[in-house]
Each structure stands twice: as C-alpha cells, then as structure tokens.
C-alpha cells in the first residue's frame, strides 16, 4: 500500500487528487526525449474528469523492459509516489496491477491532477522518494536529479493529467 496518491491512502485504496500533463514537449525537463514511453493515459483518457471517490487506472506503454516510477502531483503541489522502481516488460501495463492489491481513488483537493511516469532501462540505484510539496521548478528538478545517473538513451519521462471534480 502507498501512503497517498496525492492525498490519502485508505486501507487498500490510494487517494488521488487532480492529475497529469505531458512532459515530452516540456523543454524545461532534460530527462525526457528518448521515446521509451510511448503512451501514458488515465483509463477515461487524458484530461477526463473524475468525481471524488471514483477509481482511476493508468496505462503505460513502453518500448523496452525497464523500471517505472509513477508520481502524482495534486493541485496544491503535494506529490506522492503511486509505484516506485517497478519492473515492467515491453508493452502496456495498467496500474494499479492486480498483484499490487491496491486501488487508486480520486480524492480532494479538486482541480488538475498530474501524474508523471519516469522510466529507466536499468534498475535505479538511488531511492529518491518523490514525496512533499513541489512547485514546477522543484518538480522538474527532483525528476532531473533522479535521472542524472542514467544515459539519455536509457531514460524517459512523460506526464498525463485528469481533473478531480
């Protein structure tokens, strides 16, 4: 179980609060661009609206096997990991995975919820925990710090988003 998906974790349920935005076009982030992540979307599609309490899933498609971290950033700037350094095979994986025994349910605050996927082909050696309050600059800085040890060809970052109503 996780401590919170941007808000609160409730016995078997991970609370979400507003979701993602695509990072690949974001020129401020030096960690992306290798095109290893080909798709990241919430189950209703990017930009969809979810009522507080509704479940949400995220599909991530990668070109090669590797390690994935999903981090949620709520409208108030609080970030929390959904999964961290999880091995995924090439192709599409939907989170939460059945074997994880968790659900992601959206939770306040209402507004835009961002979810960032960070992928590396090699097992991450650093255990940087994405938890706390971030502004845009610190959010990208934490991601870049996490990715710095890996070659550009071995890492990628993307974001998606949803709205909590």
The answer to whether residue 3 sits within a structural domain is no
Residue 101, pLDDT score: 85
From CA 95, how far away is CA 93, in angstroms rounded?
Answer: 7
Closest Cα to residue 64, out of 1, 153, 126, 151?
A: 153
The answer to whether residue 1 sits within a structural domain is no
Dump pLDDT digits (tens) for 129-159: 677 777 767 778 888 888 888 888 999 999 9
**Residue owning tokens 């940087």:** 128
The answer to whether residue 116 sits within a structural domain is yes
The answer to whether residue 149 sits within a structural domain is yes
3-class SS of residue 142: helix
The answer to whether residue 2 sits within a structural domain is no
The answer to whether residue 59 sits within a structural domain is yes
Dump pLDDT digits (tens) for 9-63: 322 334 444 333 333 333 345 555 578 999 999 999 999 999 999 999 999 999 9
Give phi and psi for 42, each to the nearest 5: -70, 160
Longest dimension (CA), the chain: 40
CATH at 105: 2.60.40.1930
The answer to whether residue 105 sits within a structural domain is yes
The answer to whether residue 4 sits within a structural domain is no
- 76 in Cβ contact with 18 (< 8 Å): no
Number of structural domains, the chain?
A: 1
| Residue span of the structural domain in which 60 resides | 9-164
Q: Is the dihedral of CA 79, 50, 1, 108 positive or negative?
A: positive
């Amino acid at each position: 179980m996780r401590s919170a998906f941007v808000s609160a974790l409730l016995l078997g349920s991970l609370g979400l609060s507003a979701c993602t935005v695509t990072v690949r076009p974001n020129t401020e982030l030096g960690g992306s661009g290798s095109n290893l992540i080909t798709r990241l979307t919430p189950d209703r599609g990017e930009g969809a609206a979810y009522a507080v309490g509704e479940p949400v899933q995220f599909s991530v498609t990668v070109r090669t096997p590797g390690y994935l971290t999903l981090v949620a950033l709520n409208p108030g700037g609080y970030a929390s990991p959904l999964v961290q350094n999880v091995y995924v095979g090439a192709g599409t994986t939907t989170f939460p995975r059945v074997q994880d025994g968790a659900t992601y349910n959206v939770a306040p605050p209402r507004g835009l919820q961002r979810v960032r996927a960070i992928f590396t082909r090699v097992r991450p050696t650093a255990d940087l925990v994405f938890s706390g309050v971030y502004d845009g600059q610190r959010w990208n800085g934490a991601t870049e710090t996490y990715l710095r040890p890996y070659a550009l060809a071995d890492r990628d970052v993307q974001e998606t988003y949803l709205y909590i109503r």
